[in-house]
Amino acid sequence: MSAENKVILVTGGSGLIGKAIEEVVKQEKQAYENETWIFISSKDADLCNKEQTQKLFEKHKPTHVIHLAAMVGGLFHNMAHNLDFLRNNLAINDNILHTSFEFGVKKVVSCLSTCIFPDKTTYPIDETMVHNGPPHPSNFGYSYAKRMIDVSNKAYHEQHGCMFTSVIPCNVFGPHDNYNLQSSHVIPALIRKMSDAIERGDETYTVFGSGKPLRQFIYSMDLAKLFLWVLREYHSVEPIVLSVDEVDEVSIAEAAEVIKKSINFKGDLSYDTSKPDGQYKKTASNKKLRSHLPNFQFTKFEDAMKESVQWYIDNKDSARK
């Protein structure tokens, strides 16, 4: 194998973002023949366990790692399990980063999130503000574990010269999402529940919360393309926000209307304001991304939603529930 060849291990390869990266890599296969891609799930190794993590690295000998694996969930799952989010994610991240160091991995790209920024802040938030104050109380376990990835990346760089970096995606949606109603994010939850409402012939669908919170949603296929660019072209330890533009931020109510149209639910939407809203907004600036890729075209929200809804309808029985 020549020095140029890369063995890229993708942790969390069975998840929403991992599956999108697998699909994009498949589409561009001819162009990057020097890359061998390995997508793994928790069935290959429990990454909370150091020995299993080491065995995985011994088996595949990766030169590069895209680290996606994490305990992940929507607002309600986070609120109920802050300790588990903290402990599992601290363990997974420490195992991946330290094993990558031990095996001389050339580059690791890990995943933060716009959810982990300070709750009380100015907008738009950017890469320099990750540690500037406590996160929203609903997801502090997840947030502090994620923030420690950035701290670790800088420490590995300072002490050992490692190129371990991270990206900060906004809310993600697409095929292969998690449709489990206890743990899902808002878009897969609404797709599944409106589909069930259609099957039952319901005349109303009740969205949790006021519908007023604002979110930037990125299509998993767009995010996958940006991940590949970061792996190949972005050579800095400093994190980079991977988000749609600020003007593309939508309210939960607007997102619900787009889902309603895509899935063809004919009933009315109502809002249960006794349920929590979570963070009101977390508007992120993609100025740094745009300075590198000024012409990157994001898929229109409505088009991406149609594809995501169609995927769910086609895969209802096998989808993660």
72: partner contacted, choices ligand NAP, ligand GDP, none (Cβ within 5-8 A by kind): ligand NAP
Q: Binding residue for ligand GDP (CB under 6 A) from 169, 175, 209, 239? A: 209
CA dist 190 and 281 (Å) reads 19
62: partner contacted, choices ligand NAP, ligand GDP, none (Cβ within 5-8 A by kind): none
Strand partners, 166: 110
Q: Which residue is nearest to ligand NAP (CB)?
A: 15
* Burial (0-12, 13-18, 19+ Cβ within 10 Å), 101: middle
CA dist 278 and 281 (Å) reads 9
75 in contact with ligand GDP (CB under 6 A): yes
Residue-level length of the chain:
321
For ligand GDP, the closer of residues 211 and 239 by Cβ is: 211
Place of tokens 């009740």: 206
48: partner contacted, choices ligand GDP, ligand NAP, none (Cβ within 5-8 A by kind): ligand NAP
Options 58-66, 228-236, 269-277, 290-298: segment touching ligand GDP (CB under 6 A)? 269-277
Instruction: Give φ, ψ of 144 to 5 degrees.
Output: -70, -35
Q: Binding residue for ligand GDP (CB under 6 A) from 185, 225, 260, 288? A: 185
For ligand GDP, the closer of residues 64 and 193 by Cβ is: 193
Binding mask 111-130 for ligand GDP (x = CB under 6 A): ----x---------------
Instruction: Give φ, ψ of 184 to 5 degrees.
Output: -75, 160
* Cα dihedral 184, 186, 188, 189 sign: positive
Does the annotation count 32 as an active-site position? Answer: no
Catalytic residue among 32, 123, 142, 271: 142
From the CB of 173, what's the least distance to ligand NAP, in Å?
7
From the CB of 149, what's the least distance to ligand NAP, in Å?
9
Nearest to 34 by CA among 25, 43, 23: 25
**How far is CA 98 from its chain centroid?**
22
CA dist 166 and 237 (Å) reads 7
43: partner contacted, choices ligand NAP, ligand GDP, none (Cβ within 5-8 A by kind): ligand NAP
Read off the tokens for 4.
């140029």
243 in contact with ligand GDP (CB under 6 A): no
In sequence order, which residues have a C-beta less than 8 Å from that of residue 73 and are 6 or more positions away?
81, 85, 178, 183, 184, 185
CA dist 76 and 118 (Å) reads 19
209: partner contacted, choices ligand GDP, ligand NAP, none (Cβ within 5-8 A by kind): ligand GDP
Q: Interface with ligand NAP by CB under 6 A: which residues?
A: 12-18, 41-43, 46-48, 68-72, 92, 111, 113, 169, 171-172, 178, 185
278 in contact with ligand GDP (CB under 6 A): yes
108, 143, 277 from 139: Cα distances, Å: 25, 6, 13
Place of tokens 């296969």: 29
171 in contact with ligand GDP (CB under 6 A): yes
96: partner contacted, choices ligand NAP, ligand GDP, none (Cβ within 5-8 A by kind): none
From the CB of 135, what's the least distance to ligand GDP, in Å?
11
**Residues 246, 285 contacting (CB under 8 angstroms):** yes
* Contacts with ligand GDP, residue ranges (CB under 6 A): 74-76, 115, 171, 184-186, 189, 207-209, 213, 215, 252, 275-279
Positions annotated as catalytic residues are 142
